[in-house]
A and B are shown apart, each in its own frame.
Chain A
Amino acid sequence: MAGGVHAFLAEIWFGLLSLILMLYVVLDGFDLGVGMITLGSRNEHELGIMMATLGSIWDGNETWLVLFGGALFGAFPLVYGTVLHGLYVPIMAMIFGLMFRAVAFEFRENARRKRLWDLAFGFGSLLAALAQGLALGAIISGMAIENGRFTGGILSWFGPFTLLVAIGVVSGYSLLGASYLIVKTVGPLQAMSRRIALWTGWLTVAVGMGVSLWTPLRFPYIRAKWLGPDLFWLMILPIVAGIAFLMFLRSLRRYDEVAPFVWSIVIFAASLIGLAASLFPYMVPPNVTLYEAAAPSYTLVFMLTGIGLLLPIMLVYNGYQYLVFRGKITEAGYG
């Protein structure tokens, strides 16, 4: 059914969406991670500093999710309709979590008693991260889709594998958040962030290995992929992730400030590329491939001119904002 050009366009969009998702996961990942780490503190000043490290950037980070949603909706309407329908509970949980943490920034700043909004921020972050992990686990597990309609039940997404993936995402985001705090803070807060980074790093890698062993055993489509002709090419990714983890441990020992964050991003990027490569050409295993799910070529080209061309510009001005607000945060406040 798919002509050469159309298949190529669909693959471009698969790649572009993977890139947008990767940007979201890394950027909002450390954002949500900082949120979860705030749950461990009751010191108002510390909490204020942690939130201040996100003040000028959280909205931009979250916007990558909005962009991902819109682009997925336009480029792969079949996936958008069926997957979100099937993941009703995790998606709604994510929305409620993100809502609480979004309003917490400004409400906390204005409130005299800040505890309520501290909790809204922390638990909202945790709920959103958990829900994203559950959604990811459910997609890897495969979804019941027949004739373009989701046919499973409201809780079909739940299972031990999904739960393990969710734990991996929560701990991975915490790793990113802790490494980000090492960059942005000083003193006791930075020391605490180092400790959290160390043990969430180990936890993330342990869960990641567990998931990597479990998936080929459990899902035939992954087994076929990993043991197929792409084996050697795919092997690069766990090797890169492994090296990045060793470098991450080394940078923590050396009290580097920026390096742990960079290496945890590399771990994430390698895992996500591995995930996209393992799923390819499926978008929703075991039935829906990206070729079937893609919108017609005309739409894909039009979206590509609109969004694809803007992507580098978006990266530039988002990067500029990070540059303007670079440096350590030593005072609390929404800023």
Chain B
Amino acid sequence: MHAVPASIALSRGQFAVSTSFHIIWPVLTIGLSILLVVLEGLWLKTGNADYYRHARFWAKLFLLNFGIGVATGLPLEFEFGTNWAPFSQAAGDFFGNMLGFEGAMAFMLEAGFLGIMLFGWRRVAPAIHFFATCMVALGGSLSAFWIMVANSWMQAPAGGHFVDGHFLVTSYAAAIFNSNTPWGVSHMWVAALETSLFVIGGLSAWYILRNRYSAFFLKSLKLVLVLAFIVTPLQIYLGDGSGRWVFEHQPAKGAALEGHWETNPEGQAAAWSVIAWPDKAAQRNDWSVEVPGALSLLATRSPSGQVIGLKKFAPEDQPPLLPLLYYAFRVMVMIGFWFFLLMLWSAWYWWRGKLDADTVGHHRKLLWAWVVSIPLGYVAVECGWTVREVGRQPWVIYNVMRTGAGASALPPASVATTTVLFVVIYALLMVAFLYFAARIIRRGPDLDMPAPARRGGSLLDTRTVREAGDHPAKEAL
């Protein structure tokens, strides 16, 4: 029994809803956990209690965000089996293995130390606590690694061959480190870090604008700025590399991203359409503004490099939703450059000595620019995943298995029902998150919170707890 088109389309819709909602949360989990390591490390090194208070304050947001990430991640793992049973069987030897590794190496590490990191401040020695914070961050980054390995393999299947529609692994090294892995892993990991930086930076700017705890939040803004100095140009480099990988290995996706229809003849440069409206039915752009010759340079680094056009592929082998791909790509790229410019702008102010606690509040334009940038990282991540996943269509495993062949034969009504439930529940979660996050932010940090002693204490020093009359339940508040 094969899946009927309606149930395929519905399963795709359900998966699109569940993945695009889920990815919002791990971004901050991964990035913020690294910042928490930096903050706690700074506290241990300098003894400045403000760093400790920063760690405690941002951890509240981390915890709120984390729970939704766990809750919305669970459906994804199981949807492979429920809605994509033929895909799971065909690819399970490798793909399932990677998800198993993610569970064993990443999630377990994160979960095993999360309690200590959040509630164990006065239950374990500072060094043990710092170790727990590092393990939570390592767990988050490892989960990004394994999930990007699994996804990269769908983009560039390697390390084995398909026998009767079943993938047999011959080399795990080749499958894990397929040609897309370095780009996929680094681009996503840096995206998580970058998005988190601009969330923290933007919220810090908001406090400064409101003239609340300005000196305190200037610290976090400057810390973000230092990291952004490295991260924003790095992400542009990684994005460019990822793009060139696409043109080399997934030419149909590359051509779709640039609205490029005709392969340029040898020795002749391909034009780059800056803005256009690609029309799949007509197999051309309805309109387009072009820069002659530029696409060859962008895609191949050579002035007359050949860029394969979409028409090289039969329409059923071309990605769907061309305008969505075309504009999602552009929005992502623009946000990447905007972050870079905002970093330069702020660095310039800092260099000119304008970022000091007394006067920083006067630079309202700059601070507002940070505030409005809070959601932009998320927008870029969503756009990037749209480019990556919609652009891979019509394949679920690139050039091997069509998406339709990977879907379970489920009654459309069942999939429609669960999809509606997902949409309703996710909308509810989003509203609740924003409501509670706003409450945490309005309440602000506790600047009188005493920091625990930086030295001493044993592996399990519960005596200090009793002496202080403290309780883990209080620490969460």
Q: Which residues of A contact B (CB under 8 A)?
A: 52, 55-57, 59-60, 62-63, 65-67, 69-78, 80-85, 87-89, 91-92, 95-96, 98-100, 102-103, 105-107, 109-111, 148-151, 154, 295-296, 298-299, 302-303, 306-307, 310-311, 314, 317-318, 320-321, 323-325, 327, 329-335
B297: Cβ under 8 A from any A Cβ:
no
* A69 x B103 contact (CB < 8 A): yes
| Assembled-state Cα–Cα distance A310/B119 (Å) | 25
| Assembled-state Cα–Cα distance A317/B120 (Å) | 14
| Assembled-state Cα–Cα distance A55/B118 (Å) | 10
| Assembled-state Cα–Cα distance A94/B85 (Å) | 18
| Assembled-state Cα–Cα distance A154/B409 (Å) | 10
* A67 x B113 contact (CB < 8 A): no
| Nearest residue, chain A, Cβ from B437 | A110
Stretch among B88-96, B177-185, B332-340, B357-365 lining the A interface:
B88-96
- Given contact pairs A82-B89, A92-B418, A103-B432, enumerate 8 new A-B contacts (beta carbons under 8 Å): A59-B111, A63-B103, A63-B111, A67-B100, A299-B94, A303-B100, A307-B104, A325-B119
Given A70-B104, A154-B411, A321-B113, are A95 and B99 neighbors across the interface (CB < 8 Å)?
A: no
Residues of A within 8 A of B107 (CB): 63, 66-67
Tell me the smallest distance from the CB of B103 to a CB of chain A, in Å: 4
B405: Cβ under 8 A from any A Cβ:
no
Among B170, B408, B471, contact of A331 (Cβ-Cβ < 8 Å) = B471
Cβ contacts A to B, 25 pairs, < 8 Å: A52-B473, A56-B120, A60-B114, A60-B115, A63-B107, A70-B97, A73-B81, A74-B99, A78-B89, A80-B92, A81-B92, A82-B85, A85-B83, A106-B64, A110-B436, A149-B409, A295-B97, A296-B93, A299-B97, A306-B97, A314-B104, A320-B112, A324-B116, A325-B472, A335-B473
| Nearest residue, chain B, Cβ from A116 | B432
* A56 x B118 contact (CB < 8 A): yes
Tell me the smallest distance from the CB of B58 to a CB of chain A, in Å: 15
* B81 x A63 contact (CB < 8 A): no
Residues of A within 8 A of B289 (CB): none
| Assembled-state Cα–Cα distance A335/B63 (Å) | 11
* B476 x A60 contact (CB < 8 A): no
Tell me the smallest distance from the CB of A92 to a CB of chain B, in Å: 5
B105: Cβ under 8 A from any A Cβ:
yes
B350: Cβ under 8 A from any A Cβ:
no
B16: Cβ under 8 A from any A Cβ:
no
Q: How many A-B contacts are there with CB distance less than 8 Å?
A: 267
| Nearest residue, chain B, Cβ from A298 | B169
| Nearest residue, chain A, Cβ from B97 | A74
* A73 x B95 contact (CB < 8 A): yes
Residues of A within 8 A of B112 (CB): 60, 314, 317-318, 320-321
B80: Cβ under 8 A from any A Cβ:
yes
Residues of B within 8 A of A299 (CB): 93-94, 97, 169
Interface of A is mostly: helix
Given A83-B81, A310-B105, A325-B115, are A77 and B88 neighbors across the interface (CB < 8 Å)?
A: yes
| Nearest residue, chain B, Cβ from A76 | B92
* B432 x A85 contact (CB < 8 A): no
* B414 x A154 contact (CB < 8 A): yes
Interface residues on chain B, number (Cβ under 8 Å) = 81
Given A74-B92, A334-B473, are A69 and B99 neighbors across the interface (CB < 8 Å)?
A: yes
Indicate with 1 or 0, residue by residue over B267-286, a CB within 8 angstroms of chain A CB atoms: 00000000000000000000
Residues of A within 8 A of B172 (CB): 298, 302
* A99 x B472 contact (CB < 8 A): no
* A71 x B111 contact (CB < 8 A): no
Q: Which residue, A57, A83, A317, has most C-beta atoms of chain B within 10 A? A: A317
Residues of B within 8 A of A57 (CB): 115
Tell me the smallest distance from the CB of A45 to a CB of chain B, in Å: 12
Given A71-B100, A83-B81, A98-B74, are A335 and B436 neighbors across the interface (CB < 8 Å)?
A: no
Residues of A within 8 A of B93 (CB): 74, 77, 295-296, 299
* B100 x A307 contact (CB < 8 A): yes
* B100 x A306 contact (CB < 8 A): yes
Q: Which residue, B66, B74, B113, B477, has most C-beta atoms of chain A within 10 A? A: B74
Tell me the smallest distance from the CB of A13 to a CB of chain B, in Å: 11
Residues of B within 8 A of A59 (CB): 66, 70, 110-111, 114-115
| Assembled-state Cα–Cα distance A323/B90 (Å) | 42
Interface residues of B in 226-254 (CB under 8 A from A): none
Tell me the smallest distance from the CB of B163 to a CB of chain A, in Å: 10
* B72 x A99 contact (CB < 8 A): yes
B315: Cβ under 8 A from any A Cβ:
no
Among A71, A103, A302, contact of B71 (Cβ-Cβ < 8 Å) = A103
* B440 x A74 contact (CB < 8 A): no
* B473 x A306 contact (CB < 8 A): no
* A314 x B108 contact (CB < 8 A): yes
* B82 x A329 contact (CB < 8 A): no
* A85 x B124 contact (CB < 8 A): no
Tell me the smallest distance from the CB of B247 to a CB of chain A, in Å: 33
Among A89, A102, A303, contact of B414 (Cβ-Cβ < 8 Å) = A89
Tell me the smallest distance from the CB of B321 to a CB of chain A, in Å: 27
| Assembled-state Cα–Cα distance A148/B169 (Å) | 20
Given A59-B70, A323-B460, A325-B472, are A73 and B82 neighbors across the interface (CB < 8 Å)?
A: no
Indicate with 1 or 0, residue by residue over B416-451, a CB within 8 angstroms of chain A CB atoms: 001001000100010010001001100000000000
Tell me the smallest distance from the CB of B257 to a CB of chain A, in Å: 32
B215: Cβ under 8 A from any A Cβ:
no
B86: Cβ under 8 A from any A Cβ:
yes
Q: Which residue, B64, B93, B104, B475, has most C-beta atoms of chain A within 10 A? A: B104
